[in-house]
Amino acid sequence: MSEAHDAVDIIRAKRDGTGLADAQIDWVIDAYTRGAVAEEQMSALAMAILLNGMTRAEISRWTAAMIASGERMDFSALSRPTADKHSTGGVGDKITLPLAPLVAAFGVAVPQLSGRGLGHTGGTLDKLEAVPGWRADLSNAAMMRQLGEVGAVICAAGSGLAPADKKLYALRDVTGTVEAVPLIASSIMSKKIAEGTGALMLDVKVGSGAFMKTREDATELARTMVDLGTDAGVSTVALLTDMSTPLGRTAGNALEVRESVEVLAGGGPEDVVELTVALAHEMLAAAGREVARDEVAAALGDGRAMDVWRRMIAAQGGDPDAALPVAREREVLTAEADGVLTAMDAFAVGVAAWRLGAGRARKEDPVQAGAGVELHAVVGEPVRAGQPLLTLHTDTPERFARAREALAGAWSIGDQAPARRTVVLDRISAEG
The verdict on whether 165 is a catalytic residue reads: yes
Q: What is the chain's length?
A: 432
Task: Assign residue 382 the CATH number of its domain.
Answer: 3.90.1170.30
Q: Are 100 and 169 found together in one domain?
A: yes
- Domain extent, residue 27, equals 7-53
Q: Are 166 and 122 found together in one domain?
A: yes
DSSP structure class, residue 259: H
Cα–Cα distance, 249 to 262 (Å, whole number): 12
Number of domains in the chain: 3
Q: Are 175 and 278 found together in one domain?
A: yes
According to the model, what pLDDT value does residue 118 have? 66
Catalytically annotated residue among 84, 165, 271, 345: 165
- For 273, list phi and psi in degrees, rounded to 5: -60, -45
What's the predicted TM-score (pTM) here? 0.93
- Is residue 105 included in any domain, yes or no? yes
Q: At 44, is the secondary structure helix, strand, or coil?
A: helix
Which residues have C-beta within 8 Å of that of residue 113, sequence separation ≥ 6?
A: 84, 155, 156, 157, 161, 191, 192, 195
Q: At 394, is the secondary structure helix, strand, or coil?
A: strand
Q: Of the ranges 190-199, 270-279, 360-369, which one carries the lowest mean pLDDT score?
A: 360-369
pLDDT tens digit sequence for 210-236: 989 999 999 999 999 999 999 999 999
- Is residue 67 included in any domain, yes or no? no
Catalytically annotated residue among 191, 249, 355, 399: 191
Q: Are 21 and 163 found together in one domain?
A: no
Task: Assign residue 49 the CATH number of its domain.
Answer: 1.20.970.10
Burial 70-89 (b: 16+ CB within 10 A, else e): beebebeeeebbbbbbbbbb
Distances (CA, A) of 17 to 31, 43, 271: 22, 17, 44
Q: Are 11 and 132 found together in one domain?
A: no
According to the model, what pLDDT value does residue 114 have? 87
Is 356:406 a contact under the CB 8 Å cutoff? no
Q: Are 300 and 339 found together in one domain?
A: no
- Is residue 71 included in any domain, yes or no? no
* Burial classification of residue 96, based on how many CB atoms lie within 10 Å of its CB (0-12 exposed, 13-18 middle, 19 or more buried): buried
- Is residue 202 included in any domain, yes or no? yes
Q: Are 236 and 276 found together in one domain?
A: yes
Q: At 205, is the secondary structure helix, strand, or coil?
A: strand
Catalytically annotated residue among 14, 61, 172, 192: 172
- Is residue 65 included in any domain, yes or no? no
Q: How far is CA 275 from the centre of its chain?
A: 14
Is 80:196 a contact under the CB 8 Å cutoff? no
- Is residue 19 included in any domain, yes or no? yes
- For 85, list phi and psi in degrees, rounded to 5: -130, 140
- Is residue 61 included in any domain, yes or no? no
Amino acid code (one letter) for 304: R
Cα–Cα distance, 187 to 5 (Å, whole number): 23
pLDDT tens digit sequence for 298-335: 999 999 999 999 999 999 999 999 999 999 999 999 99
Give mean pLDDT, residues 22-45: 95
Catalytically annotated residue among 61, 80, 85, 86: 86
Cβ atoms < 10 Å from Cβ of 322: 12
Give mean pLDDT, residues 8-13: 96
**201-426-100 Cα angle (round to 5):** 25
Question: Average pLDDT over the chain, rounded to whole?
Answer: 94
pLDDT band of residue 2 (cuts 50, 70, 90) is: low
Q: Are 186 and 116 found together in one domain?
A: yes
Q: At 240, is the secondary structure helix, strand, or coil?
A: strand
Which residues have C-beta within 8 Å of that of residue 97, sequence separation ≥ 6?
A: 124, 127, 128, 154, 256, 257, 260, 309
Q: Are 145 and 252 found together in one domain?
A: yes
Cα–Cα distance, 292 to 295 (Å, whole number): 5
The verdict on whether 172 is a catalytic residue reads: yes
User: Percent of the chain scored above 90 by pLDDT?
Assistant: 84
CA nearest to 193, candidates 377, 296, 279, 69: 69
- Is residue 70 included in any domain, yes or no? no
Is the pLDDT assigned to residue 117 strictly greater than 80? no
Give mean pLDDT, residues 261-288: 97
Which residues have C-beta within 8 Å of that of residue 198, sequence separation ≥ 6?
A: 75, 81, 82, 83, 234, 235, 287
- For 221, list phi and psi in degrees, rounded to 5: -65, -45
CA nearest to 333, candidates 373, 293, 304, 364: 373
Q: Are 249 and 390 found together in one domain?
A: no
The verdict on whether 86 is a catalytic residue reads: yes
Cα–Cα distance, 283 to 83 (Å, whole number): 6
According to the model, what pLDDT value does residue 115 have? 81
Is 385:340 a contact under the CB 8 Å cutoff? no
Is 234:193 a contact under the CB 8 Å cutoff? yes
Give mean pLDDT, residues 418-426: 93
pLDDT band of residue 112 (cuts 50, 70, 90) is: very high
According to the model, what pLDDT value does residue 1 have? 59
Q: Are 27 and 90 found together in one domain?
A: no
The verdict on whether 187 is a catalytic residue reads: yes
The verdict on whether 235 is a catalytic residue reads: no
